[in-house]
A and B are shown apart, each in its own frame.
Chain A
Amino acid sequence: MPFTELNSVCVDFPVFTSRSRGLVNTLFMYTKQEQRRVEKAGMFGYTVHALRDINVSLGPGDRIGLIGRNGAGKTTLLRVMSGVYEPSSGTVRIEGRISSLTDIMLGMDPDANGYENIVLRGIVLGLSRKEAASLIPDVADFSGLGQYLDLPVSTYSTGMMLRLAFAVSTAVVPEILLMDEMIGAGDAHFVEKAQSRINKVIENVSILVIASHNEEIIKRFCTRGILLDEGRIKHMGSVDECMALHKEGSSHP
């Protein structure tokens, strides 16, 4: 059974300046004079507390909307939930096949043709080569790209490329789906088709977490909300409660 369990998770980011980025500079930091100079400028050893004391436990059927201002920690939290960021302290336990649909074009190669890109994108999504190749008929049919699939993707229009990426990315239903803003694809008459396809994926995943600034999207897909503020969970509860608190917070900054 898929679950996501975060226990008193904190995430601290080192902030690098161009000085602390280099080995030579870092070694020379140990000379006292240099250290004093940099300390004075407040440039070294900066950390940002991106998430603080996060406790979340999600199970099958959970539909979570992440709400919060820019910089509140939504993307960071999604990355912790996908296992990308191993927290500075606290523990994370996740069971289930995760799919993060933040960059749906990830792994695609403009020089390769449409078919090769379907396989590439499938493998990047975690499929075996055979499984990825088996997506071809469905993706070809849905994207409506037809003979264009024989051409290098670099010859496609932006809309066509997006359609292909969208079609592959939504061809498999994961157990845990993480999204940073809603994904969509292309031109006007494709929007509806894309909508129903992504809806079907969302209905079938076990756990959904979506971060969005779009109230309508959160209300449509989510049953619970998590309101983040400066890296802390300010409120966890119904979507309406979170939205109300969020609006209140924004009007009195």
Chain B
Amino acid sequence: MIQTNARSQLHLLLKDLAGAFQGWEFWVYLGWNDIAKQYRRSFIGPIWITLNTALFIVAFGLVGAQLFKIAVRDYLSYFCIGHILFGFFSALLNEGCLTYINATAFLKQTAYPKTAFVLRVLWKNLILLGHNFLVILGVLVWAGKIGNVAWVDFAAALLVALISGALAVAILGALAARFRDIPMMVQSIMQIAFFLTPVIWKADQLTERAKFLVVWNPLAAYLDILRRPLLGESAPPESWYMALGAMAAQAGLFIALYLAARRRIVYWL
């Protein structure tokens, strides 16, 4: 039953979310088809990208280890995990901006739950991360660190990152539908963020004065809670506080934005 304006915006938002989860087959299949497209075009599909990533990681890993005078084993595993995870964040946020813009034809024909398209973007990027994760596993086996991985910590961190990611996609998707310069802004910001976040370099290489780059950077926090368990370390509580705090802030923003503007999204397309 569709009831617009007859119920409160909160009720309609909850119904949207419930509809998206109940209709999981819709976004799971569409998200999967996005990946299948790449497989149809070439036999190994997105593994091309994985190979490409692997090649870059090995090449830069060897140079970086020299530059920073860190053992190749340690630097390569550090850089590999950071690069792939940051790539995931970056792709998610960039594509997140296009969530609704790319779904225009769908949203103008049928009253789909809006958030189903958020989950489609998240799911597609999660599948791609799964492909790239093979590289991480390969490097960890090669470096002899695979036995040390704290899988439970990693799973908890991944859950937090995915929830935050979904919220970010929902927020950016709605804002970018209204303000069409946001995708360009996000793209530039993510390019700069790559260098301001400890992906290539390590946080402890910073001087005291530059520490704020890590302390006040939510991306650094998500990266930290995900990367450390894979390297067999445990993440400091500050990183967890920052990641959880950022997630809570995004949840607040998501609710405020969607209560005010969820019903306007289609008008902006």
A residues near B (Cβ < 8 Å) are 13-14, 16, 21-26, 79, 82-87, 89-95, 98, 100, 102-103, 106-107, 109, 111-112, 116, 119-120, 123-124, 126, 128-129, 152
Cβ-neighbour of B1 out of A82, A86, A95, A120 (below 8 A): A95
B146 within 8 A of A: no
Tell me how far the C-beta of A97 lies from the nearest C-beta in chain B, rounded to whole angstroms: 11
Instruction: With A13-B267, A123-B29 as known contacts, state yes or no: A98 contacts B111, CB within 8 Å.
Output: yes
State whether B181 touches A22 (Cβ < 8 A).
yes
Of the candidates B5, B6, B12, B266, the one whose C-beta lies within 8 Å of that of A84 is B266
Contacts of A92 in B (CB 8 A): 2-6
The answer on a CB contact under 8 Å between A79 and B5 is: no
Q: Give residues of chain B (157-186) contacting chain A, Cβ–Cβ below 8 Å.
A: 175, 179-182, 185
Nearest chain B CB to A38's CB is how many angstroms away? Answer: 16
Which residues of chain B are near A109, meaning CB under 8 Å?
Answer: 33, 37
Give the complex CA separation of A82 and B266 in angstroms.
13
Q: Do residues B4 and A87 form an inter-chain contact, with CB atoms below 8 A?
A: yes
Quick check: A14 and B267 within 8 Å, CB to CB? yes
Given A22-B179, A98-B110, residue A83 in contact with residue B33 (CB < 8 A) = no
CB distance from A126 to the nearest CB of B (A): 7
Complex: chain A residue closest to B111, CB-CB: A83
**Is B105 on the interface with A (CB-CB < 8 A)?**
yes
In angstroms, Cα B23 to Cα A124, docked, is: 11
Task: Tell me, rounded to whole Å, the shortest Cβ–Cβ distance linking A27 to chain B.
Answer: 9
A21 touches B180 (CB 8 A): yes
**Docked-complex contact B110 and A84, CB < 8 angstroms:** yes
Which residues does chain A contribute within 8 Å of B33, judged by CB atoms?
109, 112, 116, 120
- A-B contact sample (4 more), CB < 8 A, given A83-B111, A85-B266: A98-B110, A116-B36, A120-B29, A129-B25
| Candidate in B5, B25, B109, B180 with the most chain A CB atoms within 10 angstroms | B109
Q: Judge if B108 is at the interface, Cβ distance under 8 Å.
A: yes
Q: Which residue of B lies closest to A95 (CB)?
A: B1
Tell me if B11 is interfacial: C-beta within 8 Å of chain A: no
Max chain B CB contacts within 10 Å: which of A86, A92, A95, A123? A86
